[in-house]
Structure 1
Amino acid sequence: MAGFEVYELTAAVLILGGALLVLLSAVSMLRAKDALQMMNVFSPAAGMGLPLVVIGIFVHLTGRDGFEWWTLMMAAVTICALVIVSSLASNTLARAVYQSGAPLDPATHPQDLADAGSGRQESAESTESTESTESTESGERTGRAASDD
């Protein structure tokens, strides 16, 4: 470690860690069974891997050239853009995959939230139908009682 400065080691660890996350995400994408699973395993690369690489580059440049506001601002804007664009792109691509009717792995449950919501709607509908049935039955009883008199 004679020739390494602390900032170089820190930058190397950050950059290699980010690159490792990107590599693991790429390998996971190859193993995914459908497009929605591919979108899901892409998240660590875009959300953590690439920002770690940017932070590592910022640490390296700061250690080599000294602190500059311009470098900090570029790194912050780049990280914000990566997070925002990757989340929007992932959401848009996942919706497009789902709406296209692409085949899904049977283990993929894209409607977990919709199923939970429809369960509430079904229970509300069944409650309404039970109430209407009860009111109809009570009305028939009242009508029968009036006709019997």
Structure 2
Amino acid sequence: MTVTEIIVSALVILATVMVVTTAIAMWRAPDALTRVNLLGPTVGVAFPLLVMGKLIIDWSTRGFDPNNFVRAVLAIAGVWIVASVGSYYMGRSIYGVTVEDVRHAEERAYQPGA
């Protein structure tokens, strides 16, 4: 086993541990808002580790290819942008459904027929 294969194996194992840990944490999370927030390590770190591992393997077998490097950088940046925006909107929608405004609830409680 070469040094690059050892490095890539370590990256893949680390990414796998992060995904499994996130899955277990999501299983044990008390509510939906916490589950959405737990996706951060998987999307923010595990996916880029896998992409970097793929790049390292490609570079060790075929040499440096600027096209693959640019695609990898765009893929990592794209997943970070999409994940942050998606997480924001999921968190806002879940927060809006699960948390009740106390002031609004008190006003509604004093209305007749409510």
Q: Same fold (TM over 0.5)?
A: yes
Select the structure of larger CA radius of gyration. 1
- Matching of residues 9-88 of structure 1 within 5 Å: 9-88=6-85
Once the two structures are TM-superposed, the CA of residue 103 in structure 1 deviates from its matched residue by 6.5
What whole-Å deviation, never above 9, does each CA across 1:100-120 have from its counterpart, x for those lacking one? x2379xxxxxxxxxxxxxxxx
Q: Does 1:8 align with 2:5?
A: yes
Unaligned residue ranges in structure 2 (runs of 5+): 101-114
Amino acid at match of 1:17: L
1:11-30 residue CA offsets vs partner (Å, 9 max, x unmatched) = 11112211211111111101
Match of residue 115 from structure 1? none
SS in 1 for 2:30: coil
- Residue type of the alignment partner of 2:6: L
Alignment pair present for 1:102 and 2:98: yes
**Structure 1: gaps spanning 5 or more residues:** 105-149
> Which residue of structure 2 aligns with residue 122 of structure 1?
none
CA deviation after TM superposition for structure 1 residue 53, in Å:
0.8
**Following TM superposition, by how much is the alpha carbon of 1:41 offset from its aligned partner in structure 2, in angstroms?**
1.2
- 2:92 matches 1:92: no
Q: CA deviation at 1:71?
A: 1.1
Q: Distance in 1 between matches of 2:46 and 2:26?
A: 15
Task: Say which structure, 1 or 2, has more relative contact order (CA 8 Å, 6+ apart).
Answer: 2
Q: When the two structures are superposed, what TM-score results if normalisation uses the length of structure 2?
A: 0.82
Tell me how far apart the structure 1 counterparts of residues 99 and 6 of structure 2 sit (CA, whole Å). 46
RMSD, matched Cα:
1.5
Q: Which amino acid in the other structure matches residue 27 of structure 2?
A: L
CA separation in 1, counterparts of 2:17 and 2:78? 21
Aligned residues of 1:15 and 1:57 also touching (Cα < 8 A): no
Moved over 3 A (4+): none
* Percentage of identical aligned residues: 28
TM-score of the two chains, using structure 1 as the length reference: 0.63
Q: Could you tell me how far apart the structure 1 residues matched to 2:76 and 2:94 are?
A: 26
The equivalent residue for 1:124 is none
